[in-house]
């Protein structure tokens, strides 16, 4: 083993050869350093080139030691920056996978099992470190996305069948109504709105088109109680008053239907987020509405109250109908 003192005192020929070796090693450090940000690597290579250029035959031992220390410091600094850069890249990739998994989980109607798998992937990506972990998650994600594609194809086929069936039923209803209603379009005799078959067909068609749209469901509270107490005619008047209020507040391109009983359904084509549309409906439903009912002895002012909800239009129409029916059938909460 050659000490640094002996190395520095070698004869000229050996000194030149060893200095050449040192220069090759220094240049190799600059050339083969790990990748980082482009600017960091350029600065590192420039500092290494500066040291390499300074390694001439006339360099003093003290300066050589200083130059060697500067190479080590520059390498340590560059590796630290490169490691931070790679860590940030990894975190960004993890965030991207989490966002994709979360988004697919929200917009997919591919079943609870696939949603559960996506949720598991979303959690595990936060702690992934080893390459084997990444490969396991990649395999799980690939299998899950394959299942989602198959389910989406099945739902698309089912949607086509449902739309065909709904159109058939709608045409039948129009034929039955054409004898008594001008123009052949079946409408509710109380509100004048199109009925559930038209609503189902519109929802299914909107889901197949894929444009962003929402279904708003409005259910009048205590309508049957009012029918019993004041008569069906009074209940019908309240339903009409509420319908006209909602119609007045909706946009021209919105479509309002009578879903059945005390439930109305509005199809809202909107490019906005669900939070924005929910806020819009909240402002509409904050409108206080009352209706005067005339009894033989006096006039009674009855407040008109309704509960409502909002669903994004989905590609699976039957599931959509089930959600609407479930909300409409839920008893109103009592304060």
Which CATH number belongs to the domain containing residue 218 in this structure? 3.30.70.270
Region 62-78: what's the mean pLDDT? 76
CA distances in angstroms from 328 to 61, 162, 239, 319, 320, listed in the order given = 89, 22, 15, 14, 12
Q: Looking at residue 229, what is its pLDDT?
A: 84
**Does position 126 have pLDDT exceeding 70, yes or no?**
no
**Does position 335 have pLDDT exceeding 50, yes or no?**
no
Q: Looking at residue 253, what is its pLDDT?
A: 93
Per-state percent for the chain, helix, strand, coil, to nearest 5: 65, 15, 25
Are 75 and 201 in a shared domain?
A: no
The answer to whether position 111 is within a domain reads: no
Are 197 and 318 in a shared domain?
A: yes
Q: Looking at residue 192, what is its pLDDT?
A: 92
Measured in degrees and rounded to the nearest 5, phi and psi for residue 294 equal: -95, 120
Cα 287 to the center of its chain, rounded Å: 31
**Does position 128 have pLDDT exceeding 80, yes or no?**
no
The answer to whether position 297 is within a domain reads: yes
The answer to whether position 229 is within a domain reads: yes
The answer to whether position 150 is within a domain reads: no
Name the average pLDDT for the chain: 76
Q: Characterise 273 by phi-psi region: left (phi > 0), alpha (psi -120 to 50), beta (else).
A: beta
Q: Characterise 293 by phi-psi region: left (phi > 0), alpha (psi -120 to 50), beta (else).
A: beta
- Going by their DSSP bridges, the two strands 289-294 and 306-312 should be labelled as unpaired
Of 42, 59, 86, the residue that ends a domain is 86
Region 110-128: what's the mean pLDDT? 60
Q: Between 161 and 292, name the one with better pLDDT.
A: 292
Of 25, 59, 86, the residue that ends a domain is 86
Question: Cα separation of 124 and 101, whole Å?
Answer: 11
Residue 233 binned pLDDT confidence (cut-offs 50, 70, 90): confident
From 192, 267, 163, select the one nearest 183 (Cα to Cα).
192
Question: Cα separation of 185 and 74, whole Å?
Answer: 81
**Does position 29 have pLDDT exceeding 60, yes or no?**
yes
**Does position 277 have pLDDT exceeding 90, yes or no?**
yes
Q: Which residue range(s) make up the domain with 47?
A: 4-86
Kindly report, residue by residue over 141-185, the tens digit of the pLDDT: 677 677 667 666 666 666 665 566 556 555 655 555 554 444 445
Are 304 and 193 in a shared domain?
A: yes
In the chain, pLDDT over 70 holds for what percent of residues? Answer: 63
Residue 108 binned pLDDT confidence (cut-offs 50, 70, 90): low
* Number of neighbouring beta carbons within 10 Å of residue 228: 11
The answer to whether position 23 is within a domain reads: yes
Are 217 and 324 in contact by the 8 Å Cβ rule? The answer is yes
- Number of domains the chain is built from: 2
**Does position 131 have pLDDT exceeding 70, yes or no?**
no
Q: Between 328 and 134, name the one with better pLDDT.
A: 328
Region 50-61: what's the mean pLDDT? 70
Q: Looking at residue 70, what is its pLDDT?
A: 78
The answer to whether position 253 is within a domain reads: yes
Region 108-115: what's the mean pLDDT? 55
The answer to whether position 181 is within a domain reads: no
Q: Between 177 and 228, name the one with better pLDDT.
A: 228
**Does position 57 have pLDDT exceeding 90, yes or no?**
no
**Does position 10 have pLDDT exceeding 50, yes or no?**
no
Region 176-195: what's the mean pLDDT? 69
**311: helix, strand or coil:** strand
What are the counts of helices (DSSP H) followed by strands (DSSP E) for the chain?
11, 6
Q: What is the 3-state secondary structure (H, E, C) of 5-30?
A: HHHHCCCHHHHHHHHHHHHHHHHHHH
Q: What is the pTM of this model?
A: 0.49
Measured in degrees and rounded to the nearest 5, phi and psi for residue 202 equal: -65, -40
**Does position 81 have pLDDT exceeding 50, yes or no?**
yes
Are 308 and 315 in contact by the 8 Å Cβ rule? The answer is no
Of 36, 52, 86, the residue that ends a domain is 86
Q: Between 6 and 236, name the one with better pLDDT.
A: 236
Q: Looking at residue 180, what is its pLDDT?
A: 46
């Amino acid at each position: 083993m050659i000490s640094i003192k002996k190395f520095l005192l070698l004869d000229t020929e050996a000194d030149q050869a060893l200095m050449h070796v040192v220069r090759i090693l220094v240049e190799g450090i600059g050339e083969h350093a790990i990748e980082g940000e482009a600017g960091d690597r350029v600065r590192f290579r420039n500092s290494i080139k500066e040291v390499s250029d300074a390694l001439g035959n006339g360099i003093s031992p003290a300066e050589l030691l200083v130059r060697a220390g500067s190479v080590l410091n520059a390498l340590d600094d560059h590796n630290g920056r490169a490691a931070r850069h790679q860590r940030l890249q990894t975190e960004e990739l993890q965030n991207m996978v989490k966002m994709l998994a979360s988004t697919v989980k929200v917009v997919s109607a591919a079943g609870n099992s696939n949603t559960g798998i996506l949720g598991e992937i979303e959690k595990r990506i936060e702690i992934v470190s080893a390459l084997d972990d990444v490969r396991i998650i990649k395999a799980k994600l690939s299998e899950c996305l394959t299942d989602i594609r198959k389910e989406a194809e099945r739902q698309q086929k089912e949607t086509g069948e449902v739309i065909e069936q709904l159109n058939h039923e709608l045409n039948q209803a129009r034929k039955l109504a054409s004898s008594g209603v001008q123009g052949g379009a079946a409408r509710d005799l109380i509100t004048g709105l199109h009925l559930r078959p038209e609503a189902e067909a519109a929802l299914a068609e909107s889901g197949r088109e894929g444009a962003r749209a929402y279904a708003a469901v409005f259910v009048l509270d205590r309508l049957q109680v009012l029918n019993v107490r004041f008569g069906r005619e009074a209940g019908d008047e309240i339903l009409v008053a509420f319908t006209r209020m909602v119609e007045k507040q909706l946009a021209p391109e919105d479509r309002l239907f009578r879903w059945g009983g005390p439930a109305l359904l509005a199809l809202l084509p909107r490019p906005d987020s669900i939070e924005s549309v929910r806020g819009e409906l909240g402002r509409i439903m904050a409108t206080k509405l009352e209706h005067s009912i005339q009894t033989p002895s006096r006039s009674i002012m009855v407040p008109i109250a309704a509960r409502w909800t909002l669903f994004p239009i989905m590609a699976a129409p039957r599931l959509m109908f089930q959600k609407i029916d479930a909300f409409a059938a839920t008893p109103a909460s009592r304060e």
